Structure 1
Amino acid sequence: MADVRVTYDKTADAAYLYLTEPQASVRSARMYPCDPVDVDGMINLDFDEQGRLIGIEVLAASSKLPEYLLRSAERLDTEGP
């Protein structure tokens, strides 16, 4: 199973799932916001120049993602794990 880098800011309750190689420096060329009504929140999909999905931003992450994933995520806030 591949490792996916996940960052989490508890203060903002926002997480980001990186779907690229850890060493890769890939930039988002297009962002597609999922319909907030359909997903009951804000989830944005980032795509590269070739149309490949490179990342997923999840707002209100604590209500959308499993707790174990947020606990193991790289923390971006000052609270720590």
Structure 2
Amino acid sequence: MGGTEVKISYDDRTDLLYLRFDERKQDVENKRVTDDVVLDIGAGGKIIGIEILDASLHLDLDRLLPVRYGASKAG
């Protein structure tokens, strides 16, 4: 069973962490699941990405970033 590569990016100016599961350009619908978590939903209801707003309030970014495999730190 093959895995999905997850791309992680973080913008320290906006404190937004983004997990991307599908690199293809496509239209998405945004679904807010909490005040600080938004799902990007693609065709067929597939989750394309997850936005975490105010990420530094919810995650220990010093420990999480940089992630070495399939990830980047933007900013």
Match in the other structure for 2:48: 54
TM-score, normalised by the number of residues in structure 2: 0.73
Calculate the TM-score normalised by the size of structure 1: 0.68
What do you get for the CA RMSD once the two structures are aligned? 2.0
* Distance in 1, Cα, partners of 2:54 & 2:9: 13
The number of residue pairs the alignment matches comes to 69
Identical residues among aligned pairs (%): 29
- Tell me which stretches of 4 or more aligned residues in structure 1 moved more than 6 Å: none
Contact 1:62/1:70 (8 A) holds in 2: no
What amino acid is aligned across from residue 10 of structure 2 in structure 1?
Y
> Equivalent residue for 1:44?
38
Q: Any gaps of 5 or more consecutive residues in structure 1?
A: 37-41
Segments of 5+ residues of structure 2 without an aligned counterpart are none
